[in-house]
Amino acid sequence: MTQQPEYATYTKKYRLVKPDDKDFYDVGHINGNMDIIDDTLSELEKRATTLDNTVGNISNLIGKTTDRGSTSTTGSVMAKLNALLDKVTSTQIGIKSVQRGTFVEDPVEPEVETPITIKIATVNPSKTFVIITGGNSAGYAGSPSASRGYVSSLEATSFTYVTGKARSIIRDIKIGYQVVEFY
């Protein structure tokens, strides 16, 4: 039977016995420490195994960059991503082109709408839209984010911008545009 050491101290975390020089040697103290260490190492090994399995499962879900043969809804994450990338590049889904430019909206008489035709590179009008930026906004002269006018039509090689009606003469105004075409 192991006798409690009279002068020993204990480690803070695992409560291992640290006999003092004044204590009698007892193999039970050493064996008790070994049991605590063995139990702790065993628990760490179980946790490491569980962690390895979890990392393996996550890794299998993510997959490898070379994973193929999937759809956008089945397979590993990388296989799904590769399926989407293949679809975008092979069936041409996404933005095909963006054309940017500016033009000047000439002075306009009050209450008059004036069409301005802007030439662009050839696009498919059914797969294209135009974004207008800049210009003046009613009541906010020089507003960089609004335009009085609007795009009235889009053709294969041009679009028509119509100046908006105003209560006073509008001075030369720089208008920006982006023509975005999809596959």
* pLDDT over 60 (residue 146): no
pLDDT digits (tens, 9 = 90+) for 2-31: 667 778 888 999 999 888 888 888 888 889
Q: In terms of domains, do 178 and 99 share one? A: yes
How many Å apart are CA 57 and CA 43, to the nearest integer? 21
Q: In terms of domains, do 50 and 116 share one? A: no
What residues make up the domain containing 110?
95-182
CATH number at residue 127: 2.60.40
pLDDT confidence band for 71 (50 / 70 / 90): low
Residue 55 lies inside a defined structural domain of this protein: yes
162: exposed, middle or buried (C-beta count within 10 Å: 0-12, 13-18, 19+)?
middle
pLDDT confidence band for 73 (50 / 70 / 90): low
- Report pLDDT for 129: 92
- Report pLDDT for 170: 58
pLDDT confidence band for 143 (50 / 70 / 90): very low
Question: Sheet of 150-154: strands edge to edge?
Answer: 115-119, 158-162, 150-154
* pLDDT over 60 (residue 55): yes
**Predicted TM-score (pTM) of this structure:** 0.48
Residue 161 lies inside a defined structural domain of this protein: yes
Q: In terms of domains, do 42 and 102 share one? A: no
Higher pLDDT among residues 175 and 111, named by residue: 175
**Contact (Cβ atoms closer than 8 angstroms) between residue 127 and residue 183:** yes
In eight-state DSSP terms, residue 155 is -
Q: In terms of domains, do 118 and 167 share one? A: yes
Residue 73 lies inside a defined structural domain of this protein: no
Q: Where are the beta strands (DSSP E) in the chain?
A: 9-10, 17-18, 95-105, 115-119, 128-134, 150-154, 158-162, 173-182
How many Å apart are CA 131 and CA 180, to the nearest integer? 8
Residue 76 lies inside a defined structural domain of this protein: no
How many Å apart are CA 36 and CA 30, to the nearest integer? 10
Q: In terms of domains, do 53 and 117 share one? A: no
